[in-house]
Amino acid sequence: MIRLSLCVFFASAQLLVFAQLRPAHLLCENLSNPLCIDAAAPRFTWQLTGQTARDVKQTAYELRVATDKSFREVTWSPGKIASDSSVQVAYRGPALRSGVAYYWQVRVWDNKGHASKWSELQTWRMGLLHPEDWTASWIEPGYDEDPVMRPSPLFRKAFNLHKTVKTAIAYITSHGMYEAYLNGKRIGDACLAPGWTSYNKRLQYQAYDVTSLLRNGDNALGAMIGSGWYRSHLAWENQKDVYGKTCGLLLQMVVTYDDGSTETIQTDNTWKSATGEVTYSEIYNGEIIDARKDAGPWTTAGFDDHAWSGVRLPGTPRDNLVATWNEPVRKHEVFHPQRIFRTPKGELVVDFGQNLVGWAHLTVNGKAGDSIKLFHAEVLDKEGNFYTTNLRVAKQEDIYVLKGGQTETFEPHFTWQGFRYVRVEGFPGDLKPENLEATALYSDMPKTGSFTCSNALINQLQHNIEWGQRGNFLDVPTDCPQRDERLGWTGDAQVFSRTASFIRGVDNFFAKWLRDVAADQFPSGAVPHVIPNVLGKNDGGSAGWSDVATIVPWNMYLAYGDRRILEDQYESMKAWVGFMEQHSRDYLWNTGGHFGDWLSYEGANTDQYLIAQCFFAHSTQLVIDAAEVLGRQDDVNKYTALLKNVKDAFLREYATPDGRLISNTQTAYVLALQFDMLPENVRMADVGRLVDNIKDYKDHLTTGFLGTPYLCHVLSRFGRSDVAYTLLFQDTYPSWLFPVHMGATTIWERWDGQKPDSTFEDAGMNSFNHYAYGAIGDWMYRVSAGIDTYDDAPGYKKIRIMPHLTDKLDFVQADLDTYYGTVASHWKRSGDAINLDVTIPANTSADIYVPAADATAIAESGTALNLHPEIKILRKEGNYMVLSVGSGEYHFVCKE
């Protein structure tokens, strides 16, 4: 009997261990243990884990912050707080100090009577919060630069340390892109640092813990700078030196010794400068590396730099410096040659099988002076030859000159290419697969979403959407990665932003970029076409492009529950709506130049001012929504009145009393329906007109950049998911699957970038990696799979699972990692039954729409629904039974 009791005791204890409530996946400012935060009130996020029971909710939490790991020096400890908040909980303690490391923990209580232990120890470090915290000086090369080639300058500083180092933090930024070194080792693994911002207003610096790279005695710091966005050619008409003509470095390393004293090693007039093997580096044109000009071990302490030049101190102000908000660009996937072949023209070409953004890595043996050229292209032409006409004037060319006498490896430092194919010239001997590989570069955003289904073409479309995002989310959301453009086009970014938030964690990525949207916004309120703005003055503002100021902040709020992004962008949002109001007559905005429904199907032209009026209304509505979230009731009233006037003006100018629009196009009806521009009594008639138009085009879409994101959403909202699926599965031009049939591995700029006969569209504007049309992904995730969040409980605090089924698919599976945990919706046909497997993370709730005639037709985990008191039956809605659930895994089987 005693033995049995002991067994029961130990078994129960084991269950407690394995089911113990635990806060995990802890983040500060949406990052794990960040080294440089300049937010005055950092925010903390955690997930509730360890519980297998259903309907787990947090009832209270306790945070503590200290400047030591043992919490003897507590900075803030507000005690137990009754709250279910676990995402972006703001620090409310005393003012935080520049450069100081803080430690934090959290513990939680749940509605099941459990209390967790303190979480694992987490940390963050504050950045340099004030301009006076910077004691380093900007330095520039002290030699006379070659004004044509502009080789990458090298900077170095030797120094000596005589005490035991406790910590060392290096703060670095540059005019141009930098790679920094300490004692011969690379500092960090970021590429293309410091990233791209509106440099004259906001220049990011990075912080690195370099403690392990230092040693007692002699040390050396070094940095190499490339022209980068700072002074490379950008945009057109031979424009260069947008931010300045001379590369520069700013570096400040704070060393703290075991005895508590500190020392700062910083850029000043004691540094040296020279040039090395990178003899040319430009974003569009590529890089030239001449290994014969290698400067030797110049980043090490014993290097003789007596022949090097000094440096100049330009006296550049430091009041535009900001900490880095977003994840850096890093190296990711490595691709190996799928084939090496000769084209009909006799060119030696390597096919990597994937259109990617990054660079090729070369391994070679040859003689001193051998020159190897790598050219990059996205596609082959109809005859199978290497095709670069669509690059316009961008060369996308890397040249490597060998030192000789050994195996040598090369890859660029301060440029990147968009390519699937590489043409090789000058390679000594036979080119083998091991001589060349391709590395993908993109911002290191965490992967959050996945989508698969029973159709291979749709899965390839999803693959293409993902790779379009990877290649074009390179610190800023660029339009394309290969031609002489690569700019942060605002229209592309706003149409894709919600899709992007499913595939990757883009909260910080867009928060950083939106700061530049506000910084570069014109005094009139208009938003430039590209951000950072390198196109100069243009006060016009274009509908659907300038609306990035309202649409992206709201989408990020919905996706992440990020209230601060609305606070930060609110004045920018209002300024844009103010511009439209100022340039309207009787609330009709029919002035200025607009891109319209860019690249729509030929002949399906929508009146640009009809489009403008729709976006005028939409942005006004988003300001109302933001004002409600932020508690700005006066603004709610003001913009609600404005919205009514804007919609009334739309009806007077563009619609007949029965709802017929002056532009009989898919985009016209889609935008009018999506933005509720029409009275409810005529909306279904316009849905009919939209469907008829689709049928007139033999079940093809005709929408461009602005209509496409909303097309399938509108159809599903008004009960025509069948037509939406017909469009999704259409595989002839124009359609989403036509490029897939043509072998695409990314999303194209045009519906027919390569035509059915394999010839090309206008080479003047024909990118094969352009993510805008990938916005269909949002419909695939939120409608086909059915994972969505409620506007009044954003960030998936309250989830809606409402899959839209079709007989064209046997199954759909989607998973999304939210700040609360993983949400999953998997539906599958099994004979005449539907299986719906759903995962809801702890501390959230969900409404699940089960496609069933009534509750008696639904079983959950093998038993009748009425045997599950934790599942509440809310109502019948259309073809669904709506159920309310808490967290947990659910397995429904039903008959449609």
DSSP for 461-472, please give it.
HHHHHHHHHHHH
Q: Does the annotation count 749 as an active-site position?
A: yes
For the chain, give the number of residues: 896
Judge whether 414 and 226 are in contact, CB under 8 Å.
Answer: yes
Q: Which token pair is 332?
A: 């990711």
Residues 6 or more apart in contact with residue 440 via CB below 8 angstroms: 331, 332, 333, 334, 335, 356, 357, 358, 470, 471
- 640 contacts: CB under 8 Å, gap ≥ 6: 624
Residue 423 is inside which H or E element, if any?
strand 417-425
Q: Report how far residue 894's alpha carbon sits from residue 241's, in angstroms, rounded to the nearest whole number.
A: 64
Q: Which residues contact 634 (CB under 8 A, 6 or more apart)?
A: none
- Distances from the Cα of 18 to the Cα of 21, 112, 376, 799, angstroms: 9, 16, 53, 27
Q: Name 427's Cβ contacts closer than 8 Å, sequence gap at least 6.
A: 348, 364, 372, 435
In the structure encoding, which two tokens stand for residue 15, read together? Answer: 């269950």
Distance separating alpha carbons of residues 114 and 257, to the nearest angstrom: 43
In a 10 Å sphere around its CB, with 0-12 CB exposed, 13-18 middle and 19+ buried, how is residue 785 labelled?
buried
- Look up residue 862 and give its two tokens: 């093998």
Q: Are 598 and 709 in contact (CB under 8 A)?
A: no
Contact 555, 497 (CB under 8 A): yes
Pair 770, 759: CB distance under 8 Å: no
Report the DSSP beta bridge partners of residue 585: 588
- DSSP tally for the chain: helices H, then strands E: 15, 46
Is the CB of residue 267 less than 8 Å from the CB of residue 178? no
Q: Out of 411, 485, 680, 889, pick the active-site residue.
A: 485
What's the burial of 803, exposed, middle or buried (CB within 10 Å: 0-12/13-18/19+)?
A: buried
- Of the residues 140, 277, 411, 749, only one is catalytic, namely 749
8 Å CB contact between 676 and 625: no
Residues annotated as catalytic are 485, 749
